Amino acid sequence: ETLIKIENLTVNYQTKTGLIEALKDVNLELKKGEFLCILGPSGCGKSTLLRVIAGFIPLTSGKCLMHENPIEGPDWHRGVVFQSPTLYPWLTVKGNIEFGPKSRGVPKDKIEEISKFFIQEVDLEGFEEKYPFELSGGMKQRVALARVLANYPEVILMDEPFGSLDAFTRSNMQNLIRNIWQENNCSIFFITHDVDEALMLGTKVLVMSPRPGKIIKEFTLDFTNKLL
Ligand code: ADP
Ligand code: ADP
């Protein structure tokens, strides 16, 4: 089942010094349950691609469809995790995770159940009442992930989510996201410039090159290799 389909996508940025072709004629498909990795050097358009799918920026030409409908803005069906975790500093871990379901009017007892489950999923039991400033970078990123998961998004968009973590924490986070992906049957769109990370996590890897940003190679990886 196709979740997201991108056809002949072109995105230009207008700057003072001229037009930047961030993406040119990009075609891709994200299927349900897929762990799609976008791999490429800095400046090849990875973040631009994510921003279009997230609904943050308009496209210049082409199509970006979800369930065959044009994506017209952000919504909670597409959860986003950035490189630097963006948490509400005035809310606790629990408060951050419950923010989405609360604002969507999910009943109180159901919210309790959801936050308990995802706090467990990201190994943050005992930290429910802590505030973001009391947490390490890896822990903050786990809260950001749980906050997105609490909305049960159809796809999770991740922009170099582990890029600013130390090697040890990064490796823990890679195992965590792989387990969450397998257990919750998620669809993931994952940006990285780390070849090892892409090959380890992805069921499919698209390689991009810059100026203009486009996809130059596609690998499908055997999913059975991913099982520990
Ligand atoms: P990335 O981590 O994706 O490589 P960059 O460090 O290239 O991101 O860019 C950081 C921010 O600066 C982004 O929000 C991007 O939109 C913006 N940016 C990048 N290049 C330009 C540019 N030429 N003009 C204006 N903004 C830019
Ligand atoms: P990546 O995520 O692969 O580093 P980006 O999507 O951030 O690539 O950037 C692709 C190209 O678009 C780069 O040349 C970058 O400088 C440019 N760019 C990104 N954001 C902006 C922006 N807001 N304004 C102008 N140029 C931008």
Structure confidence by residue, pLDDT tens digits, 119-165: 999 999 999 999 999 999 999 999 999 999 999 999 999 999 999 99
228: pLDDT strictly greater than 50 = no
Cβ(15) to ligand 1 under 6 A? Answer: yes
Q: Using an 8 Å Cβ cutoff, are 30 and 59 in contact?
A: no
Binding site membership of 47 for ligand 1 (Cβ less than 6 Å) = yes
Cα of 12 vs centre of ligand 1, distance in Å, is 13
Tell me the C-alpha distance between 87 and 56, whole Å: 18
- Total-model pTM: 0.92
Tokens of 146: 């749980």
Measured CA to CA in angstroms, residue 160 lies from 103, 134, 181, 194 at distances of 27, 23, 16, 9
Q: Is the ipTM of this complex over 0.85?
A: no
User: How many Å lie between the centroid of ligand 1 and the Cα of residue 48?
Assistant: 9
Q: Residue 78: enclosing H or E segment and its boundaries?
A: strand 78-81
CA of 211 to the centre of ligand 2 (A): 10
- CA–centroid distance, 58 to ligand 2, in Å, is 14
220 φ/ψ angles, rounded to the nearest 5 degrees = -105, 130
Q: What is the mean pLDDT of residues 97-101?
A: 97
Check if 224 has its Cβ closer than 6 Å to any atom of ligand 1.
no
Check pocket membership of 44 for ligand 2, CB cut-off 6 A. Answer: yes
